[in-house]
Copies of this chain bind each other. A is one copy, B any other.
Amino acid sequence: MASRSNFDLADIQAVVFDLMGTCTDWKTAITSAMSSCLPLCQVLPPDERATLAQQWRSGFFAEIHDRFSKGLPGEDIDITHRRVLDQLVAQNPTLGASLQDEHREQLVRSWHDQVAWPDSIAAIEQLKKSCMVVVLANGTTRLQLDIVRSSGLGFHMLFSSQLLGLTKPSPDIYLKALSLLGVEPAQSLMVAAHAYDLRAAKTTGMRTAYIRRHTEDDHEDMALVKNEFDLFLDGERPLHSLASLFRR
């Protein structure tokens, strides 16, 4: 754990979490869904399925950033996931021929069923003793509900981009969530495994905690990220480390 700032954790009233990747291990969920998809397994061995999963996730982020930079409204994550999957599959004609519409839909749907990282559930329960603990993430409210139900995560409240009518990394979405929570930016902590998310939160005056997850941010220089936010938590149980700081 590294800390660059001396802000007082006792001032924090709301802990605001990104969901997918930060609290859940989407890669295990998606590769497991791929393993249950016979036509995909017949074409791709396990390591190539893992690569496809990572490309799918990266392609999704590229789409999100592209739409955001063009000022386009957010779209249903299922639609984005399907488009990215179709593009990836098209690069492999054998796979493209064997993967029918129903298989693709099943794979798209599998993003709704996530597995919590081993430290997430207990850390969130611990944080809820002293703070409001909520989700702020791009996607639909139904997606967030499906993810928390399948993973067993329990938050006080879920804010989706669909619900707030804004998309991360727009600073307005953080400010809108904080206004609904009735706290000032300096009384809140944004927690994410994505530097782009925390960079935006930081501009609003929120405190920021970077959670290092091996599936996320592989394009970032961690030596730089380590010194960019109020807190940087890595190791096997970064959320456990975060929750320990709040024991009060």
Give A contacts to B, CB under 8 Å.
Answer: 128, 132, 140-142, 144-145, 148-149, 154, 156-158, 162-163, 180-182
Contact = CB atoms under 8 A, between A and B. Distances in A.
B180 A163 contact: yes
Contacts of A144: 157
Contact of A145 (B145, B162, B181): B181
A27 to B, nearest CB: 24
A177 B199 CA distance: 32
Contacts of A142: 180-182
Q: How many monomers of this protein are in the complex?
A: 2
A1 to B, nearest CB: 27
Nearest to A158: B157
Contacts of A132: 145, 149
24 contacts: A128-B149, A132-B145, A132-B149, A140-B180, A140-B182, A141-B157, A141-B180, A141-B181, A142-B180, A142-B181, A142-B182, A144-B157, A145-B156, A145-B157, A145-B181, A148-B156, A149-B156, A154-B154, A156-B158, A157-B157, A157-B158, A162-B180, A163-B163, A163-B180
A contacts with B: majority SS: helix
Contacts of A145: 132, 156-157, 181
Contacts of A157: 141, 144-145, 157-158
Interface centre among A148, A157, A181 (most CB of B within 10 A): A157
A94 to B, nearest CB: 35
Nearest to A141: B180
Top-10 shortest CB links A-B: A142-B182, A141-B180, A157-B158, A132-B145, A145-B156, A154-B154, A145-B157, A142-B181, A148-B156, A163-B180
Contacts of A158: 156-157
Given A140-B180, A144-B157, A157-B157, 12 more contacts: A128-B149, A132-B145, A132-B149, A140-B182, A142-B180, A142-B182, A145-B156, A145-B157, A154-B154, A157-B158, A162-B180, A163-B180
A202 B156 CA distance: 28
A151 to B, nearest CB: 12
Nearest to A135: B157
A111 to B, nearest CB: 15
A218 B149 CA distance: 37
